[in-house]
Amino acid sequence: MMVVRELWREAARFPAALALSTALLVLVFFTHLAQAVAIAWAMSAVLGGHPHDVFAALALIAGTALARTLLSLAQTSAATGLGGRVRQALRRRAMAAALVPERLHDPAARAGAMRAGLGDGVDGTDAYVSKYIPAVAQVFLACPAVVAALLLLSPAAGLCAAAGIVLALLGPMAWKRMMARRGLDHWDSYEALSADLLENLRGMATLRALGDVPGTRHRLDTRSEALRRATERVMRVSLAETAVIDLAVQGGIVAAAAAALGHALTGQAPSVETYLILLLASEAFRPIRDLSRHWHAGFLGLTAVPGLAQLGAFTPERATAPDEPAAAPAGAAPRGAAPSGRAEALRVSELSFRYPGAPDDVLRGLSLTARRGSLTAIVGESGAGKSTLFDLLLGFLTPSAGRIMLDGRPVRADDIAVVSQRPVLFAGTIRDNLTLAGAPTEAEITAACRAAGILDDIHSLPRRFDTEVAEAGTNLSGGQRQRLALARALLAHRPVLLVDEPTSALDAARAAEVVTTLHRVARDRIVIMITHRPETLAGVAHVLRLDAGQLQRSAP
Ligand SMILES: Nc1ncnc2c1ncn2[C@@H]1O[C@H](COP(=O)(O)OP(=O)(O)OP(=O)(O)O)[C@@H](O)[C@H]1O
């Protein structure tokens, strides 16, 4: 028997479903016992020449078979419900822990690995929860009852069965550690293959351009081979466990049968009792055989448990609002404060930040003020800390010192909209993508798209706003994606708009249009723009130069 504590705790969160599926399983088992009694009765009636008893026994056999069918159906349904609820709870908690801004900066977080955990990892726990746990409960409830009955009928047979059961339960624990280690290896290999596959699929164009498709195939083959070896190692251990259990079960049955026959030969027991002892000796091991079967079927899925624990699937959820970022900026106001409206000034004071494990601060005592009315631009060399500053403003990172205030109060996550350098569009229609943050009216959608310079493009499409956007927006040009993201940000009606390299994917004419749009938008919002292109700075009065984490020049 193998105990995976995390999954027992999860199953115990649904006590009614767990109790029902266990109780039904035990009832199914008792139909087997009733059948054994009926068979023994029938055999003794046949040998004793009592035809009436034979018919009664046959009726009992048929009745138990029917009852077992119905109870088994109910048990399967209850167990499936239990497994489904545990999987849902695990997936919800894992998603709540995984889909947070902190993961943006977690160098160990790989999308493919996370997908494997959230998908196959969570599903892999089902066999253990829905089948193995009730089967363990069945062992502890049913086996003692059968052993007690055997002890009454034949103490020697009862003792043999008890010894076999104990051996079958404790034997596999001898290599528990090895199983855990191999299980971990297996899941690591699976996660690595999933992560590589996803990354390579996404980067196929680059790999092709670099002429590395054969190399990629070779690397994936190697990963796949590693997974095959890890799976075989795991299955070998699992099969060894099955072999030990089978040995204990068969040994126990043979010993109990020998004891029963000994009784019969020495004339200590009438024939009906001998039949019954023989049948019960076999039935005593039925729960153990069930346990072994379910373990073997679900064991590969269990290898995901450490990965799920790392993902946070077993950690109680934090009480956060659905759209609240996990890390609000230092001094952030609690949710439920006044909703965002128009704001005059965003003030950053003495802001410092260092990435975990990095030797130096990326930003050191940085102060700046951005006001509504005119565009604020931040320029600086690559690596100067511009994106880090944005992530601090957005609450994706928590500053080590300093404050970010909007009109004299701590800034909140819902004060800020952002258009990133590589905006993310989701599968769905253009309208779906524009209305992610709320339910704007048609007039608002049209106005935002016009302001972002994307309206004409949308109108030129056959299905206009109902045009499907492919995954990651691959059926739109880079500039269209960026302008769509700008329209989406405008529709969020936030008092602060952060724009990262808004013209990087645009030709000169389009870039000029977008900058004009931003100047216009800046009349009623605080707009901060990161830019590398000098031409986008034309007409920008407030240019801040970031150099190695410090501002070199700050306009008032
Ligand atoms: N997750 C991270 N962990 C550790 N260091 C990081 C991390 N992200 C960024 N850095 C480092 O922080 C510094 C600032 O990076 P940042 O991305 O903010 O620069 P940037 O000015 O936006 O650059 P670019 O113009 O190239 O986008 C760089 O030295 C970078 O290597």
- pLDDT tens-digit profile of 367-386? 889 999 888 999 888 888 88
Q: Whose CA is nearest to atom 10 of ligand 1?
A: 355
Give me the long-range contacts of 104-112 (CB less than 8 A, separation at least 24). Answer: 104/391, 104/396, 105/355, 105/391, 105/396, 105/397, 110/191, 110/195, 110/198, 110/199, 111/195, 111/198, 111/199, 112/191, 112/194, 112/195, 112/196, 112/197, 112/198, 112/199
> Residue 500 C-alpha to ligand 1 middle, in angstroms?
14
pLDDT of residue 125: 92
Give the SS3 label for residue 286: helix
Q: Which atom of ligand 1 is nearest to the CA of 391?
A: 18
pLDDT of residue 21: 95
- By the 8 A CB rule, do 367 and 349 touch? yes
Query: How confident is residue 128, by pLDDT bands cut at 50, 70 and 90?
Result: very high
| E strand or H helix at 314 | none
pLDDT, one tens digit per residue, over 478-535 is 788 888 888 998 888 889 999 998 777 677 777 787 788 888 888 888 999 998 777 7
- By the 8 A CB rule, do 419 and 486 touch? yes
Q: How many helices (H) and strands (E) does the chain have?
A: 20, 12
Q: Average pLDDT in the 452-461 region?
A: 88
Q: Whose CA is nearest to atom 30 of ligand 1?
A: 383
pLDDT of residue 321: 44
Share of the chain above pLDDT 90, in %: 28
Evaluate the CA torsion angle 487, 492, 494, 500 in order and state its sign. Answer: negative
| Interatomic CA distance for residues 526 and 499, integer angstroms | 11
pLDDT of residue 62: 93
Q: Whose CA is nearest to atom 6 of ligand 1?
A: 355
**Rounded to the nearest 5°, which phi and psi values hold at 367?**
-130, 140
Evaluate the CA torsion angle 502, 508, 514, 519 in order and state its sign. Answer: positive
- Nearest residue to 404 via CA among 353, 341, 468: 353
- Nearest residue to 277 via CA among 256, 249, 254, 248: 256
Q: Choose between 79 and 263: higher pLDDT.
A: 79
ipTM of the complex in this document: 0.96
Note the pTM of the prediction, 2 decimals: 0.72
pLDDT of residue 71: 96
Give the tokens for residue 93. Answer: 């908690």
> Residue 356 C-alpha to ligand 1 middle, in angstroms?
12
| Contact 318 CB / ligand 1 (< 6 Å) | no
Q: Whose CA is nearest to atom 1 of ligand 1?
A: 105
- By the 8 A CB rule, do 458 and 477 touch? no
**Rounded to the nearest 5°, which phi and psi values hold at 499?**
-130, 120
> Residue 385 C-alpha to ligand 1 middle, in angstroms?
6
| Contact 388 CB / ligand 1 (< 6 Å) | yes
DSSP sequence for 152-169:
HH-HHHHHHHHHHHHHHH
Give the SS3 label for residue 403: strand
Pairing between strand 496-500 and 526-530? parallel
Q: Which atom of ligand 1 is nearest to the CA of 107?
A: 1
Residue 445 confidence (pLDDT) above 60: yes
Provide the β-strand partners of residue 371. Answer: 345
> Residue 411 C-alpha to ligand 1 middle, in angstroms?
23
Query: How confident is residue 542, by pLDDT bands cut at 50, 70 and 90?
Result: confident
- By the 8 A CB rule, do 523 and 370 touch? no
| Contact 387 CB / ligand 1 (< 6 Å) | yes
Tokens 């030709």, residue? Answer: 507
Neighbours of 208 (CB within 10 A): 11
pLDDT of residue 536: 78
pLDDT of residue 12: 94
pLDDT of residue 226: 94
Q: Whose CA is nearest to atom 16 of ligand 1?
A: 385
Provide the β-strand partners of residue 550. Answer: 547
Neighbours of 204 (CB within 10 A): 12
- By the 8 A CB rule, do 425 and 481 touch? yes
Terminal C-alpha separation, the chain: 71
Query: How confident is residue 46, by pLDDT bands cut at 50, 70 and 90?
Result: confident
Q: Choose between 349 and 99: higher pLDDT.
A: 349
> Residue 107 C-alpha to ligand 1 middle, in angstroms?
12
pLDDT of residue 332: 39
pLDDT of residue 331: 39
- Nearest residue to 397 via CA among 110, 108, 109, 106: 106
Give the tokens for residue 548. Answer: 């190695």
Q: For all residues of the chain together, what is the average pLDDT?
A: 84
Q: Give start and end residues of each alpha helix (H) in 154-269.
A: 155-170, 176-202, 204-209, 213-265
pLDDT of residue 341: 67
- By the 8 A CB rule, do 351 and 392 touch? yes
pLDDT of residue 339: 34
- By the 8 A CB rule, do 362 and 549 touch? yes
| Interatomic CA distance for residues 521 and 543, integer angstroms | 17
| Interatomic CA distance for residues 375 and 296, integer angstroms | 64
Residue 154 confidence (pLDDT) above 80: yes
Q: Choose between 297 and 5: higher pLDDT.
A: 5
Query: How confident is residue 322, by pLDDT bands cut at 50, 70 and 90?
Result: very low
Query: How confident is residue 342, by pLDDT bands cut at 50, 70 and 90?
Result: confident
Q: Average pLDDT in the 144-162 region?
A: 89
pLDDT of residue 553: 54
Residue 107 confidence (pLDDT) above 70: no
- By the 8 A CB rule, do 197 and 221 touch? no
Query: How confident is residue 330, by pLDDT bands cut at 50, 70 and 90?
Result: very low
| Interatomic CA distance for residues 540 and 538, integer angstroms | 6
| Interatomic CA distance for residues 91 and 207, integer angstroms | 33
pLDDT, one tens digit per residue, over 171-227 is 877 777 888 888 889 999 998 999 899 888 888 877 887 888 888 899 999 999 999
Q: Which atom of ligand 1 is nearest to the CA of 549?
A: 14
Q: Average pLDDT in the 433-457 region?
A: 86
* 387, 499, 504, 533, best to mutate for ligand 1 pocket (most atoms within 8 Å of CB): 387
| Contact 395 CB / ligand 1 (< 6 Å) | no
> Residue 547 C-alpha to ligand 1 middle, in angstroms?
12
| Interatomic CA distance for residues 30 and 316, integer angstroms | 38
Query: How confident is residue 144, by pLDDT bands cut at 50, 70 and 90?
Result: very high
| Interatomic CA distance for residues 213 and 226, integer angstroms | 20
pLDDT of residue 472: 67
Give the tokens for residue 6. Answer: 């995390």
| Interatomic CA distance for residues 30 and 305, integer angstroms | 33
Query: How confident is residue 90, by pLDDT bands cut at 50, 70 and 90?
Result: very high
Residue 328 confidence (pLDDT) above 80: no
Residue 470 confidence (pLDDT) above 90: no
Q: What is the 3-state secondary structure (H, E, C) of 26-49?
A: HHHHHHHHHHHHHHHHHHHHHHHC
> Residue 92 C-alpha to ligand 1 middle, in angstroms?
32
- By the 8 A CB rule, do 306 and 90 touch? no
Tokens 């159906």, residue? Answer: 73
pLDDT of residue 267: 67
> Residue 549 C-alpha to ligand 1 middle, in angstroms?
10
> Residue 389 C-alpha to ligand 1 middle, in angstroms?
10
**Rounded to the nearest 5°, which phi and psi values hold at 346?**
-110, 120
| Contact 362 CB / ligand 1 (< 6 Å) | yes
Share of the chain above pLDDT 70, in %: 91
Evaluate the CA torsion angle 294, 298, 300, 306 in order and state its sign. Answer: negative
Provide the β-strand partners of residue 348. Answer: 368, 404
